[in-house]
Structure 1
Amino acid sequence: MTWRGGARSIFWVRMARFFLLLILGGGVLLWAANRLWPLPLKALPVARVVTAQDGTPLWRYADAQGVWRYPVKLEQVSPYYLEALLTYEDRWYWDHPGINPLSLLRATWQNLHSGGIVSGGSTLSMQVARLIDPHPRTFTGKLRQIARTFQLEWTLSKKQILEIYLNRAPYGGTLQGIAAASWTYLGKPPSELTPGEAALLAVLPQAPSHLRPDRFPERAKAARDKVLARLAEYHVWSQKRVDEIRQESIWLAPRQVPQLAPLLARRLTANNKRSVVTTTLDATLQRQLEALATGWKHQLPPKTSMGVLVVESSTMAVKAYIGSVDFNDDARFGQVDTVSAWRSPGSTLKPFLYGLALDDGLISAESLLQDVPRRFGDYRPGNFDTGFHGPVSASEALVRSLNLPAVQLLDAYGPKRFTANLRNAGIPLRFPNASDPSLAVILGGTGSRLDQLTEAYSALARGGNVAKLRFEPEQHLQQRRLLSPGAAWIIRRILGGQALPQPDDSLPGTVPLAWKTGTSYGYRDAWAMGVNPGYIIGVWVGRPDATPVAGQFGYATAVPILNQVNNLLITSARFNAHMAVTDPRPASVGISTLCWPGGQSLEAGDANCRQQRQSWTLDGTLPPTLAAPGQELQGGSLVTLWTNSQGKQVAANCPDSHSVQVALWPLPLEPWLPQSERRNQRLPTPDTVCPPLSKPAISPLLLIGVRQNAILKPLPGKNSLDLRIESQGGAGQRWWFLNGEQVETAGSNRTFQTTLSQPGHYQLSVLDESSQVSTLDFTVDR
């Protein structure tokens, strides 16, 4: 007994070792086989898709075979679909090791009994094995499929295997995966499938070409009903629900290939290989604006394109991105992304100069500026519109986008300082040949981009902070301060048509569309930038090859598009919820009364208050009128004189003299002032007994040859008018401006000669070296 018992123990020990070695050997063989013949997952071609924030496909990049797959996770698929799929295809999916022996035996018996293949007995795991490693439908092919199935189950989790099926199952044509099928056939994400739609899509992979619902709706309906019967049979869905679904016909959304925001898709996929890129775009708004662009395409000149950005100001999420008027139109350079192209910004930078000048204490909202011909070394800017306007307020100059007041202000603030402040806030400007910033920067003498300008205008919507655009939901909000909240608020109210101060109880809580135009030199770029209570809108129109387009400028070309986009946002309930943002007046903003020409507050009845104005002020600051360099020698805006008891001007050492201060308008404004406001009327008459000390006087600059407001006609038989104007007085060289644009003169620069062939109103201005200006208005008639 002892020997037999010992022999029996040795036997079982040896058997245990044998089975252990068998298991270990099998494991080693399986490991080696897995290493030698790995799952071909990485070899699968990858398709990529760019989506809106709600998951709507915007643009797709198919794989090398042109197949569209829209990758999804298990959590992004409707539970109805998972119930229908697992009940119909593989009820024991979560329990079996990859194959279901009972299903295989049943399928084998059915196939032998019928003399053909009527059932495959494949589990979902086996179907995935065939999807990733196709094989012939033979006995050896089936063995290979089973081996791959075990390899799948050993390597991946059940959830991972199911996700491969969800993304690789065939749905007819170039569609693979539940998401591609759901968007293509039903126009919705797979997370929103109804029970009937889920049952339909669950059965299509069995015979995707035979059951395509867009081609064979009756076949698809019959196959769907089989799934419904199985769900009722196994009590997954109630018989009542199944009966209700059976009454539903097969309804499909109009089949569309995702073709929205192609240039944004290219921008976001250029440097990453993610299979799904989710953007912040609103698919409906994007579709509406692309339709709007198509409508404008035939109204724009040939080879002209456009760019539009719509940004939610509270989050800086980009909601619409139009990079060109038509991506497929090569004649209009449709594949050039005008949103990221460097262009001349025209006058679109002016609001930031005025805001920085407010913060610097150079001006208030109604400070007096000078819209007159001026020279800055060799630089003599003109106005975009016709002529000059003389004395203007800062708010009027900004709203009318007058060039000369802006150059005057930049000259006082400093172009290098201005561009440095913009750069520090994240708004870089580009200068040709790395040159230093000059006064021309404020009129468009630099380079910028639509996306960067839109970021700049966020300062007016975000209390002075410039924030970066967010193209993807996971991007963090980044911002830097450019303006104080008070300066940003004042500039926004001015651009919104509320430059006239109002008390808080009558001031609208929200600002209407605040907008600014811009036109670059030579009519190459037309801009319109807008800020409404909820969104920032940027519009650019022009030729991508920078060819000038005559008559194309911001107000005529870009503003109508801006207004259409703004109206669309206002009337849409989906976007209107964001349009109720209030805009309360910051504590730093006040209301004050100031007087021109001095610019400061004076008591009622003061003789030096020649024109009284109500103004928004920042921190209670009322700076004196900004004098241009050199104007201090002309007496400035406030001069000290000595008068006697008769009110006549005398020398300081004369008996009975006392000093008085007289506010004078800047000398270059004389041609635009009424006679009562000019210096010869404002200054006291000199006393003949004790006259004031004389100063070297410059004779007045006069224009001779045509009287003011004359109506001129060509000679009989001629279609043009020969004009000759002489200048007298003044000092030094002259510079002539016709309708705000500098013109060269033939011969002596004291004489202006030209030929006018077009009827209309004209304004001729001449500027001399002493900064005197003389202006003549006349009309040419036929």
Structure 2
Amino acid sequence: MEKRRQKAFNVLKKWLRSRRFWLLASPFLLFIVLDAALPFKVAPSYSTLVVAADGTILHAFLNDHDKWRLYTEPDEITPLLRQTILQKEDRFFYFHPGFNPIALGRALVKNTVTGRRSSGASTITMQVVRLLEPRKRTYLSKGIELFRAMQLELHYSKDEILQLYLNLIPYGSNIEGMKSASLLYFGKLPQLLSLAEITTLTIIPNRPSSLRLGRKNTFIVQERNKWLKRFERDGLFDKQIIADAINEPLNAYRREAPKWVPHLAFRLKNEQKNTPIIRTAILPTRQAQVEQMTRNYVNRLQSMNIHNAAVMVINNETMQVETYVGSADFNNSYDGGQVDGIKAIRSPGSTLKPLLYAIAFDKGMITPKSAVNDVPTNFGGFEPENFDRRFNGKVSIEFALANSLNIPAVKVLKDMTPGVLINYLKKADFQTVKKQSKDLGLSMILGGCGVTLEELTRLFTAFANDGKMHGLNYTKEAEKAKGEVLISPESAYLITTILTQITRPDLPNNFDNTYHLPRIAWKTGTSYGKKDAWSIGYNRRYTVGVWVGNFSGMGVPELNGANIATPLLFDVFNAIDYNSPTGWFKPAADITRRKVCAESGDLPAEFCTHQVLDYAIMGISPTRRCQHLKWVLTDQTAKISYCTQCLPDSGYVRKLYINLAPGLIAYNELNRIPYQRIPPHNPNCTRVFDIGAPIITSPNDGSEYFLEGQQLQLACQAANDVREVYWYVNDKLVQKANPQAALFIKPPVGKVKISCSDDKGRNADVFINVLTQ
């Protein structure tokens, strides 16, 4: 065995040293060297094609050279198309190495005899080379084509080369490729072409100037039928198939390229550069339906000077964006139709309140029945008002959210601190909030920040997905990511329960007595100056975001989320998921029910006779006992109250009195709402209390005031048992007054100390700076 191996090795060694071997091998070695030194770069610039989830073409773009060169995919090359094109152009395509030696020899002889170049004998591979690297028709160019053709054959499969050919063949004007011609002349994709249509498109590239579709159709039919008869003679197709193709009329003319869903198409084209086919998750029938609804709805609002709207539909199960309406009419340049309202940065109004309360639920600050005071409040110079400019006194958190009250939201944010909410919004990928974070304060919860419809709609998908935030999928191939926990499932359920209520002021006037009210949770919002109307809603399957307004930023008195944005939201839900079969949300694992005091929302004390059921998160929700009443020691006639320091030896009683916050007392006094007042404290008592000092609401501590002939208001809020307060300026008494009285003074210029003391000796100070010009 070893001797045989040695003998074979010696023969091989001898063969490698022979002249015949190198004579035969040198062309191949030279080709390999040239291939490495002169690589053939195949990188044609394709048009971008945006397609829907079902393959429907939504939008087509010119390529970088302003040509229609659409990418033909392998599955679009049907056997019929392959068979026809090979029969006409290169019958031996799958057998030659890039060139046909017999055809080349025949062409050389013919050209030599005739004295002119009448035949090029180009294979499909050589035509691809010529289309990629156009040159003058010379014998040198032909030699280069041969070399490049062999390179193509070396590095690409036959199917890939055929695909390249179909992508590059010219059809006159700026149309290149079978798919471009099929779409622009026949209005269909290549796999839907008939034999007659395929034959038509196979004969055009050889004579694109004389065979012009749409202009010379009669002549083209004649030429087409000649080839069909030739196919019949060659036995390529059955006679009946050929006869049907010959009798088929030619309905070809230049069509407009598809231009649906333009906002999304332009967006994805810019985001996914050099991608020939972008497969979106858009459902074309639904997209067209919502587009038409939006256009019709905005047309009805024109008389109010409201000219635009944007709508986004997200599938909660897949996080795919199934509908994307950037404006009411993309072609309306007068009203900014080309602005993408889904990406436009606007003021969110009250739409961030659900996230605020959800965070507060998770942090154990509140529950739905927790009481909060909706009364005029000064938050360090920021004095918010409700949308209807009214106040409601003591309300529950669920009432505050369902009615979108502003003061309770600002109070919760103040207790939480704005930084916490900002961090959650950063986690939810609110880009503008990230940029503005250093300048944001309490006003952000009322719209004092920038958001987009895309960000808001995605945020609300978290409430529908058990508190998890997932990335949006604009393409069909993208899968739903694992998601990041934003809020707990329990908190998400509590928010959903509140936002599902229909006994609320943001129910549109024309929907309150209709059978077509969809079962959804939704939140409205109206920006300051009535420039933006929002309505974001969701159920198990979908989350829909709606914005209505003017891209010019013009405010409109009638513009509000409830009556302007929500009707369109309801219409969209009724169209896409009326009577949803997926059911409703179920309580999360750690949701429990418990009895609380109806007055405070806290766990009942011994004096809480009116109790209601409330939701709570086990181990998280607050467990404080109710203090809406407190025990007060008074005399028998309840004319004087005592503290333990001045309590008489006998003759006193223990009575329950309502325990009101100073702000609520001031609200009751201002609106003449009767309430139970604590009797004045024993005037003979000399004890000074450490807590419960008056709250100075005007002026604001640390503020600067320009006063030219104007006076400065002094105002405070005091405890229930306070009858008089004393105002001091720079430690000098200026006036004694009722706690609810508003006083006006003219302070000195410079740094000024303002003090307020109540009749219990409790004191509060603020410092201001008075300036004059």
| Aligned CA distance change for structure 1 residues 293 and 67 (closer, same or farther; 3 Å) | farther
Measure how far apart 1:167 and its partner are.
0.9
Measure how far apart 1:84 and its partner are.
2.9
Deviation string for 1:567-588 (max 9, x for gaps)?
33236xxxx9x86364222232
CA distance in 2, matches of 1:589, 1:188: 55
| Paired residues of 1:69 and 1:177 also in contact (CA < 8 A) | yes
CA distance in 1, matches of 2:349, 2:599: 30
| Paired residues of 1:460 and 1:488 also in contact (CA < 8 A) | yes
| Matching residue of 2:486 | 482
| Paired residues of 2:602 and 2:625 also in contact (CA < 8 A) | no
DSSP 3-state at the match of 2:547 = strand
Measure how far apart 1:147 and its partner are.
5.5
| Matching residue of 1:348 | 351
Segments of structure 2 that go 5 or more residues without pairing to the other structure are 1-13, 505-516, 695-714, 718-722, 728-740, 745-755, 759-773
Which of the residues 581, 585, 588 maps onto 2:587?
585
Which of the residues 410, 419, 424 maps onto 2:427?
424
Deviation string for 1:283-308 (max 9, x for gaps)?
61444444455545654577965443
DSSP 3-state at the match of 2:543 = strand
| Paired residues of 2:204 and 2:211 also in contact (CA < 8 A) | yes
| Matching residue of 1:259 | 259
Deviation string for 1:45-72 (max 9, x for gaps)?
5533444444444444423542111223
Measure how far apart 1:410 and its partner are.
1.7
| Residue identity in the other structure for 1:344 | S
| Aligned CA distance change for structure 1 residues 525 and 687 (closer, same or farther; 3 Å) | closer
CA distance in 1, matches of 2:240, 2:107: 31
| Aligned CA distance change for structure 1 residues 296 and 201 (closer, same or farther; 3 Å) | farther
| Matching residue of 1:446 | 449
DSSP 3-state at the match of 1:259 = coil
CA distance in 1, matches of 2:417, 2:366: 14
How many residues align? The count is 672
| Aligned CA distance change for structure 1 residues 222 and 564 (closer, same or farther; 3 Å) | farther
| Residue identity in the other structure for 1:403 | N
| Matching residue of 2:66 | 66
| Residue identity in the other structure for 2:545 | G
| Residue identity in the other structure for 1:492 | T
CA RMSD of aligned residues (A): 5.0
Measure how far apart 1:207 and its partner are.
4.0
CA distance in 2, matches of 1:111, 1:118: 6
CA distance in 1, matches of 2:246, 2:624: 82
| Aligned CA distance change for structure 1 residues 233 and 392 (closer, same or farther; 3 Å) | farther
Which of the residues 536, 553, 570 maps onto 1:563?
570
- TM-score when normalising by structure 2: 0.72
DSSP 3-state at the match of 1:205 = coil
Measure how far apart 1:556 and its partner are.
3.8
Q: 1:266-415 maps to which residues of 2 (within 5 A)?
A: 266-270=266-270, 273-276=273-276, 278-282=278-282, 284=284, 285-295=286-296, 298=299, 299-300=301-302, 305-415=308-418
| Aligned CA distance change for structure 1 residues 591 and 145 (closer, same or farther; 3 Å) | same
| Paired residues of 2:71 and 2:277 also in contact (CA < 8 A) | no
| Paired residues of 1:40 and 1:132 also in contact (CA < 8 A) | no
Which of the residues 588, 591, 596 maps onto 2:598?
596
| Aligned CA distance change for structure 1 residues 493 and 84 (closer, same or farther; 3 Å) | farther
| Paired residues of 2:315 and 2:541 also in contact (CA < 8 A) | yes
1:520 aligns with 2:527: yes
| Paired residues of 1:511 and 1:533 also in contact (CA < 8 A) | no
| Paired residues of 1:425 and 1:481 also in contact (CA < 8 A) | no
CA distance in 1, matches of 2:122, 2:32: 25
| Matching residue of 1:183 | 183
Deviation string for 1:66-100 (max 9, x for gaps)?
21112234244333322332234333211123334
| Aligned CA distance change for structure 1 residues 35 and 698 (closer, same or farther; 3 Å) | closer
| Aligned CA distance change for structure 1 residues 279 and 523 (closer, same or farther; 3 Å) | farther
Measure how far apart 1:265 and its partner are.
3.9
DSSP 3-state at the match of 1:526 = strand
DSSP 3-state at the match of 1:460 = helix
Deviation string for 1:242-275 (max 9, x for gaps)?
5566665556799332323444444444465423
| Aligned CA distance change for structure 1 residues 154 and 622 (closer, same or farther; 3 Å) | closer
| Residue identity in the other structure for 1:387 | R
CA distance in 1, matches of 2:64, 2:430: 40
DSSP 3-state at the match of 1:435 = helix
Q: 1:93-172 maps to which residues of 2 (within 5 A)?
A: 93-100=93-100, 122-135=122-135, 146=146, 148-154=148-154, 156-172=156-172
1:640 aligns with 2:631: yes
| Matching residue of 1:84 | 84
CA distance in 2, matches of 1:281, 1:35: 42
| Residue identity in the other structure for 2:676 | N
| Matching residue of 2:5 | none
1:460 aligns with 2:459: no
Deviation string for 1:436-480 (max 9, x for gaps)?
542212111222222222221121111001222223345562522
| Aligned CA distance change for structure 1 residues 434 and 466 (closer, same or farther; 3 Å) | closer
| Paired residues of 2:597 and 2:612 also in contact (CA < 8 A) | yes
CA distance in 2, matches of 1:282, 1:698: 61
CA distance in 1, matches of 2:726, 2:539: 50
CA distance in 2, matches of 1:323, 1:336: 7
| Residue identity in the other structure for 2:572 | V
Deviation string for 1:422-449 (max 9, x for gaps)?
3234345538875354221211122222
| Aligned CA distance change for structure 1 residues 310 and 32 (closer, same or farther; 3 Å) | same
| Aligned CA distance change for structure 1 residues 102 and 24 (closer, same or farther; 3 Å) | closer
| Aligned CA distance change for structure 1 residues 626 and 297 (closer, same or farther; 3 Å) | farther
Q: Which segment is superposed worse, 454-463 or 150-159?
A: 150-159
CA distance in 1, matches of 2:544, 2:497: 17
Which of the residues 676, 680, 703 maps onto 1:680?
676
| Aligned CA distance change for structure 1 residues 407 and 645 (closer, same or farther; 3 Å) | same
Measure how far apart 1:548 and its partner are.
4.1
| Aligned CA distance change for structure 1 residues 512 and 697 (closer, same or farther; 3 Å) | closer
DSSP 3-state at the match of 1:567 = helix
CA distance in 2, matches of 1:626, 1:438: 32
| Paired residues of 2:59 and 2:260 also in contact (CA < 8 A) | yes
Q: Which segment is superposed worse, 80-89 or 300-309?
A: 300-309
Q: Percent identity?
A: 31
Which of the residues 488, 498, 508 maps onto 1:494?
498
| Matching residue of 2:747 | none
| Residue identity in the other structure for 1:407 | V
| Aligned CA distance change for structure 1 residues 427 and 731 (closer, same or farther; 3 Å) | farther
Q: Which segment is superposed worse, 173-182 or 226-235?
A: 226-235
DSSP 3-state at the match of 1:523 = coil
CA distance in 2, matches of 1:626, 1:249: 86
| Paired residues of 1:466 and 1:479 also in contact (CA < 8 A) | yes
CA distance in 2, matches of 1:152, 1:579: 55
CA distance in 2, matches of 1:332, 1:135: 49
| Aligned CA distance change for structure 1 residues 109 and 653 (closer, same or farther; 3 Å) | farther
DSSP 3-state at the match of 1:125 = helix
| Aligned CA distance change for structure 1 residues 224 and 686 (closer, same or farther; 3 Å) | same
| Aligned CA distance change for structure 1 residues 134 and 337 (closer, same or farther; 3 Å) | same
Q: Which segment is superposed worse, 146-155 or 313-322?
A: 146-155
CA distance in 2, matches of 1:654, 1:232: 125
Measure how far apart 1:382 and its partner are.
0.5
DSSP 3-state at the match of 1:497 = coil
DSSP 3-state at the match of 2:412 = helix
| Matching residue of 1:705 | none
| Residue identity in the other structure for 2:70 | Y
